[in-house]
Amino acid sequence: MSEAPLLDIRDIRTVFRTSAGEVPAVDGVSLSVAPGRTLGIVGESGCGKSVLSLSVMRLVPRPGRIASGQVLFQGRDLLALPEGEMRSVRGGAIGMIFQEPMTSLNPVHPVGWQIEEAVLAHRDVSRADARGIAIEALRRVRIPAPERRVEEYPHQLSGGMRQRVMIAMALACQPKLLIADEPTTALDVTIQAQILDLLRALQAETGMAIVLITHDLGVVAEMADEVAVMYAGKVVERGPAAAVFGDAQHPYTLGLFGSIPRLDDESDRLLAIEGTVPPPFNLPAGCRFNPRCAFADARCRETLPPLAPVGPNHIAACLRAPVEAIAA
């Protein structure tokens, strides 16, 4: 954390307009990633991971909007950039890949063309050069016979191949940061491992930073240097991967670990969490986790806990942290 962060998200709040007024999907999140490092963001479905990543790209769909906060990227606040400059950041300095490789590519254009389009949007090169760059990009993501593949349409490729194409597209302009929103969730386990290996190898080659969003703790454990755990639009625990994994302090984080099925150790199941993430239009008072929290007491139903240090570079938002004292 000594190095100046590449991406520094400060107190960002993204709201959706609904019949019940504006509700926060992301509520005061602060995170940062250093160059060349990987930040893992974990949390259950609906906790605001995708909305957060789209907020960084300023691609929050209507009726959503970023209500406040800053997204400092290389020291510049992306939220304050004119749209034209923001466009050159998207796909230029920041690449992004999505969960759904089946639908994230346009079915009516050849995959090579779709990569070329990204290249031409950012670099002053000829069509022929763009084609060369696209082939090179496909080769980099280990797609065999890229000269032929560029002509193919997405429906001719498997899910894993399509996700490789997405990665090739996101990396075609050599971004400093890659945001990967559940890049492997839709893929089967073998392919998933291949894609993660690929991302790691590409990170080593290019020195890019990665924000890896997932609800799979195994993936975070394997990839991340830093981990942030999100719950109901907020970061509830954050710290170096070793600290969060080895010394989780927030009951929700502990619950997530507990919900990894462990056949060998029955006791871990005790902490598995019941229920689901409350939707942004129906948040409980006090700690947002209190209806599901095994440690909740009266205070938790009134006070929203702030993030507070629980170890070196390690923070958690729990009124009763450190919890191992209670859990033990």
Partner 1 sequence: MLQHIVRRLLTAVPVMFGVLLIGFVLLQVVPTDPATVRAGPMATPDVIEAIRRDLGLDRPLWEQFLRYLWRLAQGDLGVSIINNVPVAQELGATIGPTLELMLASLVWSIPLGLLLGTVAAYWRGSLFDRAVMAFAVAGVSIPVFFVGLVLIWYVGFKWQLLPFTGRGGPIWTIEGLRAIALPALTLGGVFVGPIARMTRTAVLDVLSADHVRTARAKGLAERLVVLRHALRNALIPVVTLIGLQIGFLLGGAVVTETIFSWPGVGRLAVGAILSSDFPMAQGTIIVLSLGFIVINLIVDILYAVLDPRVRAS
Q: Which residues are CB-neighbours of 259 under 8 A, at least 6 positions away?
A: 271, 272, 273
Site for ligand SF4 contains 231 (CB under 6 A): no
Residue 13 CB, nearest distance to ligand SF4 (Å)?
20
- The three-state (H, E, C) secondary structure of 150-208, written as one string: CCCCHHHCCHHHHHHHHHHHHHCCCCCEEEEECCCCCCCHHHHHHHHHHHHHHHHHHCC
- What are the backbone angles phi and psi of residue 310, rounded to the nearest 5°? -125, 0
Residue nearer to partner 1 on the CB measure, 156 or 313: 156
Residue 265 CB, nearest distance to ligand ATP (Å)?
26
Site for ligand ATP contains 279 (CB under 6 A): yes
| Measured distance CA(211)–CA(174) in Å, rounded | 15
Site for partner 1 contains 316 (CB under 8 A): no
Residues 27-66 that bind partner 1 (CB under 8 A): 57, 59, 61
Site for ligand SF4 contains 280 (CB under 6 A): no
Q: Residues 67, 81, 121, 271: which binds partner 1 (CB under 8 A)?
A: 121
Residues 12-71 that bind ligand ATP (CB under 6 A): 16, 25, 43, 45-51, 61, 64
Site for ligand ATP contains 176 (CB under 6 A): no
Closest C-alpha among 60, 6, 9 to residue 235: 9
Site for partner 1 contains 92 (CB under 8 A): yes
| Measured distance CA(158)–CA(169) in Å, rounded | 16
**Ordered strands of the 76-77 beta sheet:** 21-33, 7-18, 64-73, 76-77
Site for ligand SF4 contains 64 (CB under 6 A): no
In the list ligand SF4, partner 1, Mg ion, none, the entry touching 122 (Cβ below 5 to 8 angstroms by class) is partner 1
The dihedral built from the CA positions of residue 213, 215, 216 and 221, taken in this order, carries a sign that is positive
In the list partner 1, Mg ion, ligand SF4, none, the entry touching 50 (Cβ below 5 to 8 angstroms by class) is Mg ion
Binding region for Mg ion (CB under 5 A): 50
Q: What residue ranges bind ligand SF4 (CB under 6 A)?
A: 250-251, 287, 289-290, 293, 295-296, 300, 305, 318-320
